[in-house]
Structure 1
Amino acid sequence: MSNADIDDGGESAGATGNTKRTGTLPEVRALTVADIRTAFNQGYADFLKAPLFGFFFSGVYVIGGLLIAQSLFVWDMPWMIYPVAIGFPLIAPFAAVGLYEVSRRLSTGEPLAWNEILSVIRLQSRRELAFMAFVVLFIFWIWMYQVRLLIALILGRMSFATWESFTQTLFTTPEGWTFLIIGHAVGAVLALVLFSVTVVSIPMLLDRNVDFVTAMISSVRAVAASPMVMLGWGVVVTLMVIAAMLPVFLGLLIALPVLGHATWHIYKKAVP
């Protein structure tokens, strides 16, 4: 398997990571709205070039979401569907690792072989990406924990055994509106933190032989270099994912591959 690009410090960067790891912070550049638009178009083009890979990786994500939703009904916790649905996109960047590898291969002209792409993903479990997965899942756990905490503090004295009673409590009572306002405010902060540390770091860990702390710092620096543009991209991603989840998660079969491929191209533009 061939290596990818050579970074500025002369280190060979590739999905196999056979070279000495460097902790040197790479250069980042500010992005423009035109860069985001171009990256989105490139992501859409990558999806059209390799749709089967897009459907496969997004299908795994969709099936996972459906299983979680079904489990909440089995466990008689239907009121958790809304917070889980809102928090579920938080782990989408990690779920898109396979899509990043597809875009990397398309840009370098390497063959799109299933066994090689899946092998690259499997190898990440022994590299820094495994630590990044822990960071993503930890933030998702914080999101779910604070939802349970807010339910206990704000809605604890109310009874809602069904999804219908829960939604009625949310939208027809002062306590419900308080829960929504505080919950979404806390969720926005967590989403901002997760977006800042993952938008560049996860594709970087796949592409270069750096440690996960260096990757997270580089990701935050990339967001800080063009905050309005990057946060605007984060809003676009959030709205597209939420809209795609409405038809029983099925819209994610297209939205996730396009956004995943586009994120790869944003990374390549932000960290040249």
Structure 2
Amino acid sequence: MSRQLPPGTIIFGPDATCTLDTCPVDWSIYSYRPSLAGNATLLALFGVVGIIHTYLGIRWKSWGFMVGMQLGCISEIIGYIGRIMLYNNPWSFVGFMIQIVCLTIAPVFFTASIYVTLSKTIIHLAPELSRFKPQLFYWIFIPADVVCLALQAAGGAMSTNSDGGDNTGVNISMAGLALQVVVLVLFIAAFSDYMIRYWRSGRMSGFPWRLKAFFAGLTVSILLILARCCYRVAELREGYSGDIIKHEIPFIVLEGAFIVVASFALCWGHPGLALRDSHRDSGKASDSEQGTIEK
């Protein structure tokens, strides 16, 4: 802060008294006024990608994947509404809570869709090459995702009782993000191991273009989400008073743009692009086992 606080001035929390008329913006928790153009653009892009995934989900009847993507996009949209509220009033505690919770948890829904999709993909390609049952990809990783979601949401919610100096909520959110990084790394290692075994089996020759696009989209999305989580861990490690959190450009790029690109990449990594039967969620376990690769 560049000046001494006047008596009775509250700069953080539900009882904050600052406004743009009464306090300099560097007294706000982010020390900047969020970009209206940047955050509105991200909001619009998530709206577009949400519509695309709704169309693809209905077209290919991939209800589970569609719901995960919709929840992620809706969370992103709500989060950027919170950022726009902070543009109007950088001390808006409601806006702060909306964006800190929704933007933190949104990618968890995207990764959940990825875990289920790749489990079904292994069943279609060659389940016998997997070191463990393909279903373990979602029996293990989905519950881990739920734990990540719970920690991140709880950490954000605990900030409602903070005056900005108590980092308990921040630490809990950071634990959830760090766990998400670990889960993503383990998932990447497990699936990479499977793909190496598949490649060595000689079955990768003549891969149809749709399957190549499918894996390219999934790979891009996973790596971008991983990079974003690493950034958020570094950001929260310093708490709300740290230096990283005070700069918007890294946030716009590493949180906003990375997740936008990841969500668009999942249009290419959509199960309907490569799998003919498993995306039709008929509710029968045999459906995912009897499908064939779309040529």
Same fold, TM-score > 0.5, yes or no: no
Task: Compare CA radii of gyration and give the structure with the larger one.
Answer: 2
Q: Which has the higher contact order (CA 8 A, sep 6+)?
A: 1
| TM-score (structure 1 length as normaliser) | 0.34
